[in-house]
Structure 1
Amino acid sequence: MPALRTVAFSLLLVVSGTFAIAGERPNVVMLLSDDLGFRDIGCYDGPVDTPTLDSLAARGVRFTDFYSGCAVCSPSRATLLTGRHHIRAGVYSWIHDPSQQSHLLEREITLAEILKEQGYATAHVGKWHLGLPGHGKDKPTPDAHGFDYWFATWNNAEPSHHNPVNFIRNGEAVGPLEGYSCQLVVDEAIDWLDSRSDDEEPFFLNVWFHEPHAPIAAPDEIVEQYGKVNDKAAIYSGTIENTDRAVARLLKKLAAVDSPENTLIIYASDNGTYRQDRTGNLKGRKGQNWEGGIRVPGIFSWPGTIRQDRVSHVPAGIVDILPTVCGLLEIDAPGDRAIDGSDLAPVLKGNEKAFTRHQPLFWHLQKSRPIVAMRDGNYSLVADPNYELSTSNMFEEAWIPQIKSGSYTNFRLYDLVKDPQQKQDLAASRPELTEKLRKKLLEINASIMADGPDWHLENQSE
């Protein structure tokens, strides 16, 4: 296993926890990786040199069974910011602004809004992909979701990670930039930290990288460590190491702003990789509700608060981020709506027996087969739809009535502890357990679909 390191588009939450001093609030910084595989980075036995990330794992808790909010990008990000299933939040699939009304609903309460209410300065830098105005669509910008400052792209860095031309800063196009996206995003984060008018004010810094999502690019001197400079696998690895280097620069700046003992870091990826060779031999990949499409790295580090150098096998995921941050900061999560995630604070503080997940982890993606998946304890239940949609790869909002009213068939059951590669279907041999879990899945599904917005209608409420 390579030495300690960090990755591309990962989720990093920094919370400087000076609770010993009355009235103070910790800072919160979140980093998210894009399309990063379960078996990409060093501390997950991956081939990429990521010393920053590996050192975070050594100083905290690494989850072996950590999950994205969805098997594709936009929905997972909606889940991360809200602690709610993405369909409740208005996002059925990845967002294509020119052809869809869909976006993160303004009526949702995001982590940024919660922290802003607590007196935090808030900023988002990097990929957004939760809907932006343009193309004849009047969609909200990140400031409508609680971010005072934002520097973002609709979707991917264009034309690639190298010299992107499509960043927008606070509603104004930035124009061509020189450099690599991950480094430019960290430059912006550092500039924002330096420009704060009140350096005593707590801050929430949301950092979402583009790497290693295609179209990929990385410096040749990094790529050459993994193969030829024109080899896609080598470039893919190069984007991850390049991001690790960018994260190292950000962490150095954060350490100058506050001590590492006052910093909580949470790391993950928005979904699984598109490269089958980086899933750790798990079944499926990005876009599929098999383990390879939804299982991702998950690391929590907060020296002095979270126990160090621990590996947890408790199933957890991006859906748990909002309630966990609220729990660690001792503030209330929204109480007027369903929160699908659970507070992981007991697990992080070394008391796993005190942790209770109030609802199984659940995934829905209309173009995936299986279309739904649920994790309850050691078991995974998956199913296919009992209806057919058109063959379009792009999400069509006209499908929404069928999605909301449809049900499921071909249920399959797997013991993920004994069979993480999901090779042995236990549904026939464990009919009572299968039926019990099927009822749970349908109950969760009904609740989520009842909240799902009707984007196909002209006057959809936001």
Structure 2
Amino acid sequence: MKIPIFLISVSILLASAKVQAGPNFVFILADDMGYGDVSHAGGKIPTPNLDKLRADGMRFTDAHTTSSVCTPTRYGILTGRYNWRSRLKKGVLFPPDISIMDPARKTIAGFLKDRGYRTCVVGKWHLGLNWHMLQTPAKATSGPTKGTCWNIDFAKPPQQGPLKLGFTEDFLFPASLDMAPYLYLRNDRVTVIPTVSKGWNRQGPAASDFEAKNCLIDFAHESRAFIEDAVSSNSPFFLYLPLTSPHTPIVPSKKWQGRSPLGRYGDFVMETDWVVGQIMQELTEQKVAEDTVLIFTTDNGCSPAAGIPKLVSQGHKPNGDWRGHKADIYEGGHRVPFLVRWPARVSAGSSCDLTVCTTDYFATVADILGARGRKFPQNAAEDSFSFLAALGNPDLQTPTRPYTIHHSINGSFAIRKGPWKLCLCPGSGGWSSPRPAKALKDKSLPPIQLFHLANDPAETTNLQAEFPEVVEDLVADLHHAIQAGRSNSGPPRSNEGWPKTFPQAVLNLFPQLAGK
């Protein structure tokens, strides 16, 4: 029996509609913006758009990044996997470092692309691009040749940009705004070949017309254009918008200079807030705000480069009352603002105190689209736990994840379960006091730190000697998570090498953490 062609066509259309049924997704990631920088969390910098986002949706008060610095956090968001499972065991990438992304590994963008979504990244990439390299470095055609990256072949598209990782389109700045090269890429191709040297503190090749102060304006414009085009083409969409602000260089555009009572950093935070408002406005104008899951968070805590002591003296605590800041294992390094607006499902003005992590985005999106249990990819997102249940029930008491693992700039680990947090290092693991070099030599400091965050949110009292059984339990969880290659359910997976960043004093106490 032959099936009429029109019935086959109808079946295909229905199947396609089923695949594409689901909300749009927008994920905005600020750079080096702290828990207390938003005014609804007590900050003194006006952030009216983020305050509206909070009023319209849900605020997670116990949200964390996987790392206290940028490259690792970005990896975790896109892969749903802890960054230390990759080959990057500490620190960040510096162009032209090789990408830490694996094209064979499913990203959240690839997951959504497979389901009929247009997927776009606009903004700061900082995951490596695998540039083609010149045998002989180029020279500036105007002015002196300064800095690194002149050995990149900018005429050729990089070998591993977002288009190889599940995105259908992109508009990028390659890394941090204080790292060369200073230029944009569109769909994995440089828009203007660099011919001059520029840079704030790291000089390097730059497009002659590139100015850091214009980035937020450009990112807002590109993001709005993508949303408009996706809606006009009747396509569900995913926009990943990692901003370059308020990371250094602190360069608010002319319109925003002098707007804040707290100087240039405050101006830059206000302009960052403006970008969020632009996205919200475009979603409203395109009549898709009701069924778009819009998330705002940041990649780590506020940086000391913002001038934290001066801001605090003016009544503004960029990292709230949490200890530490960017780069640290302490809460100020990785506890971040986390706002979710989804009018179709999330109650306005709600709050949730459950612990969530930026790796959880992957599983949550999958859960929203019905890909849970055996339908969830078993070879991806190994550290992702859905918080969808919390979106519909902000008073949910059941934890969404069994524990959360934190990581600092020097590769120090911490593990959190309930109110208990164990830091596997004697100091900050980062830039605040006691810094690693001094802490490791200070015999008065125990090799590990155990804090009860419910009673001691500022992490002032080390309880490791009083609760050895809690320490042992948390170490066992950490060891299992590393050894199993995942922390959620599923078959064991492999890491890209064992993390060899535990201090020797910690390994003396817990030799199992040395791996095989």
TM superposition score category, shorter chain reference: 0.7 to 0.9
1:376/1:367 Cα in 2 relative to 1: closer, same or farther (>3 Å)? same
1:357/1:304 Cα in 2 relative to 1: closer, same or farther (>3 Å)? closer
- Greater Rg over alpha carbons, structure: 2
Aligned counterparts of 1:291 and 1:263: Cα–Cα separation in 2: 30
1:329/1:354 Cα in 2 relative to 1: closer, same or farther (>3 Å)? farther
Give the Å deviation of 1:73.
Answer: 0.4
- More divergent stretch after superposition (73-82 vs 263-272): 263-272
SS at match of 1:206: strand
1:454/1:342 Cα in 2 relative to 1: closer, same or farther (>3 Å)? closer
SS at match of 1:152: strand
Aligned counterparts of 2:110 and 2:409: Cα–Cα separation in 1: 29
* Alignment correspondent of 2:39: 42
* Alignment correspondent of 1:207: 241
Match of 2:190 among 173, 178, 194: 173
SS at match of 1:71: coil
Give the Å deviation of 1:32.
Answer: 0.6
Q: What does residue range 62-461 of structure 1 map to in structure 2 within 5 Å?
A: 62-92=59-89, 93-98=91-96, 100-134=97-131, 136=133, 139-157=159-177, 165-175=182-192, 176-177=209-210, 180-196=214-230, 199-220=233-254, 222-227=256-261, 234-275=263-304, 276=308, 277=312, 278-332=318-372, 333-337=376-380, 339-350=382-393, 352-353=395-396, 355-365=398-408, 367=410, 371-384=412-425, 410-448=447-485, 451-453=494-496
Q: Is the 8 A contact 2:362 2:381 kept in 1?
A: no
CA displacement 1:182-204 (0-9 Å, x = unmatched): 12101111222344496211111
Aligned counterparts of 1:167 and 1:108: Cα–Cα separation in 2: 25
CA displacement 1:29-69 (0-9 Å, x = unmatched): 11111111111011111122111111111122111111112
Q: Is the 8 A contact 2:324 2:332 kept in 1?
A: yes
Give the Å deviation of 1:258.
Answer: 2.8
SS at match of 1:380: strand
Give the Å deviation of 1:287.
Answer: 0.9
CA displacement 1:44-100 (0-9 Å, x = unmatched): 1112211111111112211111111211101100100111111234443311233x4
Query: Unaligned stretches of 5+ in structure 2?
Result: 1-16, 134-151, 153-157, 193-208, 313-317, 430-445, 487-492, 499-516
SS at match of 1:204: strand
Q: Is the 8 A contact 1:298 1:317 kept in 2?
A: no
Q: Is the 8 A contact 1:344 1:355 kept in 2?
A: no
Aligned counterparts of 1:438 and 1:41: Cα–Cα separation in 2: 35
SS at match of 1:64: strand
* Alignment correspondent of 2:443: none
1:192/1:59 Cα in 2 relative to 1: closer, same or farther (>3 Å)? closer
Give the Å deviation of 1:421.
Answer: 0.8
- More divergent stretch after superposition (285-294 vs 355-364): 355-364
Which amino acid in the other structure matches residue 390 of structure 2?
A: V
CA displacement 1:417-461 (0-9 Å, x = unmatched): 111110011111122222211211222233349733269xxxxxx
What do you get for the CA RMSD once the two structures are aligned? Answer: 2.9
Give the Å deviation of 1:135.
Answer: 6.3
Aligned counterparts of 1:197 and 1:210: Cα–Cα separation in 2: 26
Aligned counterparts of 1:66 and 1:447: Cα–Cα separation in 2: 24
1:118/1:23 Cα in 2 relative to 1: closer, same or farther (>3 Å)? closer
Query: Unaligned stretches of 5+ in structure 1?
Result: 1-19, 228-232, 389-408, 456-462
Aligned counterparts of 1:29 and 1:439: Cα–Cα separation in 2: 37
Q: Is the 8 A contact 2:328 2:409 kept in 1?
A: no
Which amino acid in the other structure matches residue 148 of structure 1?
A: T
Aligned counterparts of 1:202 and 1:268: Cα–Cα separation in 2: 22
Aligned counterparts of 1:149 and 1:320: Cα–Cα separation in 2: 24
| Aligned residues with identical type, % of pairs | 28
Which amino acid in the other structure matches residue 414 of structure 1?
A: F
**Count of matched residue positions in the alignment of Structure 1 and Structure 2:** 404
Q: Is the 8 A contact 2:356 2:401 kept in 1?
A: no
Give the Å deviation of 1:133.
Answer: 2.5
Which amino acid in the other structure matches residue 182 of structure 1?
A: L
Which amino acid in the other structure matches residue 222 of structure 2?
A: E
Which amino acid in the other structure matches residue 391 of structure 2?
A: L
Which amino acid in the other structure matches residue 226 of structure 2?
A: W
Q: Is the 8 A contact 2:356 2:400 kept in 1?
A: no
Q: Is the 8 A contact 1:128 1:155 kept in 2?
A: yes
Which amino acid in the other structure matches residue 146 of structure 1?
A: G
Q: Is the 8 A contact 1:68 1:272 kept in 2?
A: no
Q: Is the 8 A contact 1:112 1:145 kept in 2?
A: yes
CA displacement 1:390-435 (0-9 Å, x = unmatched): xxxxxxxxxxxxxxxxxxx822211111111100111111222222
Aligned counterparts of 1:416 and 1:63: Cα–Cα separation in 2: 16
TM-score by length of 1: 0.80
Q: Is the 8 A contact 1:85 1:448 kept in 2?
A: no
Which amino acid in the other structure matches residue 275 of structure 2?
A: A
Aligned counterparts of 1:45 and 1:108: Cα–Cα separation in 2: 40
